[in-house]
């Protein structure tokens, strides 16, 4: 785990990213308040997370179950909401459902049904996003774009799940032009699901896309939620598989 980042460092980064978000939104005629900054806190210490929240972060995004559990036990997220943004195995849903405000990474019927079952068991209605594998990468989580509408229908039929929108992570190797295309496609999927499925009882309002390298582009593409790690906390040590 890296060292705790000082409040001053984190606060300066949060302010800079928030300013860039606001500028970008205004430049394309959007209300800056329509874009939520989610701090991707993987590998950060509980004290770094506390510093981020003190600096104005309102949503933390966690992508490993073990770290989520440790930070929850530590009360590290106090004062902020928590989203689960990583790949979730069905045998771990009990550590996540009802413990986070939103699960952004539902990518199969099997996982959806496991979340529904656990949410019923603990008596909650769990907010979720569907994750789309927009670059059709074999190695990556996410549902195929062609299956997304069907999965969204299924989510709406689950009484203990509240479908709030969709999320995507474009291929890491994508060029700016390719990324623009991926964001456009994801936006279209979002609009399509909204038009076909939204009614008085639903509120499909979250489009989670954009990371440190591409969040301005994602905001231009209609993102309402950017998940930013490196630009807030600095570079991370190389990724290692979760135990
Ligand atoms: C780590 C992570 C991010 C943030 O990535 P950065 O490039 O560090 O901003 C966003 N989304 C998910 C799902 C992540 O795991």
Q: Report pLDDT digits (tens) over 52-63.
A: 999 999 999 999
Q: State yes or no: pLDDT of 194 exceeds 70.
A: yes
Let me know: does 28 contact 222? Beta carbons within 8 Å.
no
Mean pLDDT of the chain: 96
Q: State yes or no: pLDDT of 242 exceeds 70.
A: no
Residue 231 CA, closest ligand 1 atom number:
9
Token duo for residue 151: 């999965």
Residue 227 CA, closest ligand 1 atom number:
10
- How far apart (Å, rounded) are the C-alpha atoms in residues 63 and 104? 10
Task: Name which residue sits closest to atom 10 of ligand 1, judged by CA.
Answer: 227
Q: How far is the CA of 38 from the centre of ligand 1 (A)?
A: 10
Backbone angles phi, psi at 107, to 5 degrees: -130, 10
pLDDT value at position 241?
Answer: 53
The answer to whether the CB of 86 is under 6 A from ligand 1 is yes
- How far apart (Å, rounded) are the C-alpha atoms in residues 10 and 17? 11
What is the CA angle 225-25-106, rounded to 5? 15
pLDDT value at position 240?
Answer: 58
The answer to whether the CB of 169 is under 6 A from ligand 1 is yes
Closest CA to 204 of 219, 217, 190: 190
- Residue 239's pLDDT band, with cuts at 50, 70 and 90, is low
Helix (H, G, I), strand (E, B) or coil at 228: strand
Q: State yes or no: pLDDT of 134 exceeds 50.
A: yes
Q: How far is the CA of 229 from the centre of ligand 1 (A)?
A: 5
Residue 63 CA, closest ligand 1 atom number:
15
- Residue 200's pLDDT band, with cuts at 50, 70 and 90, is confident
- How far apart (Å, rounded) are the C-alpha atoms in residues 221 and 98? 31
- How far apart (Å, rounded) are the C-alpha atoms in residues 104 and 164? 9
The answer to whether the CB of 172 is under 6 A from ligand 1 is no
pLDDT value at position 139?
Answer: 86
- Residue 243's pLDDT band, with cuts at 50, 70 and 90, is very low
Percent of the chain topping pLDDT 70: 98
Task: Name which residue sits closest to atom 6 of ligand 1, judged by CA.
Answer: 229
Token duo for residue 1: 């785990």
Q: State yes or no: pLDDT of 234 exceeds 70.
A: yes
Closest CA to 160 of 204, 127, 202: 127
Q: At what angle do helices 46-54 and 65-73 cross, to 10 degrees?
A: 70
Q: State yes or no: pLDDT of 107 exceeds 60.
A: yes
Closest CA to 95 of 242, 204, 233: 242
Write the pLDDT tens digit of every residue in 141-178. Answer: 999 999 999 999 999 999 999 999 999 999 999 999 99
């Amino acid at each position: 785990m890296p060292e705790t980042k000082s409040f001053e460092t984190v606060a300066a980064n949060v302010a800079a990213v928030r300013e860039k978000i606001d500028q970008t939104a205004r430049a394309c005629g959007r209300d800056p308040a329509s874009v939520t900054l989610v701090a991707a806190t993987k590998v950060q210490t509980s004290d770094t997370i506390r510093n981020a929240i003190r600096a104005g972060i309102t949503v933390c995004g966690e992508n490993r179950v073990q770290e989520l559990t440790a930070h929850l036990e530590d009360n590290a997220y106090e004062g902020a909401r928590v989203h689960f943004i990583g790949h979730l195995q069905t045998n771990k849903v009990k550590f996540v459902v009802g413990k986070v405000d939103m699960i952004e990474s539902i990518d199969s019927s099997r996982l959806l049904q496991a979340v529904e079952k656990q949410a019923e068991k603990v008596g909650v209605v769990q907010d979720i996003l569907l994750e789309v594998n927009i670059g059709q990468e074999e190695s990556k989580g996410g549902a195929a774009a062609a299956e997304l509408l069907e999965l969204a229908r299924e989510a709406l039929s689950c009484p203990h799940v509240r479908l709030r929108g969709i999320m995507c992570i474009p291929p890491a190797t994508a060029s700016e032009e390719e990324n623009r295309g991926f964001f456009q496609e994801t936006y279209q999927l979002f609009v399509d699901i909204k038009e076909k499925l939204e009614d008085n009882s639903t509120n499909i309002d979250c489009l989670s896309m954009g990371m440190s390298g591409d969040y301005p582009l994602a905001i231009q593409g209609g993102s309402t939620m950017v998940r930013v790690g490196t630009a807030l906390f600095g570079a991370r040590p190389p990724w290692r598989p979760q135990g």
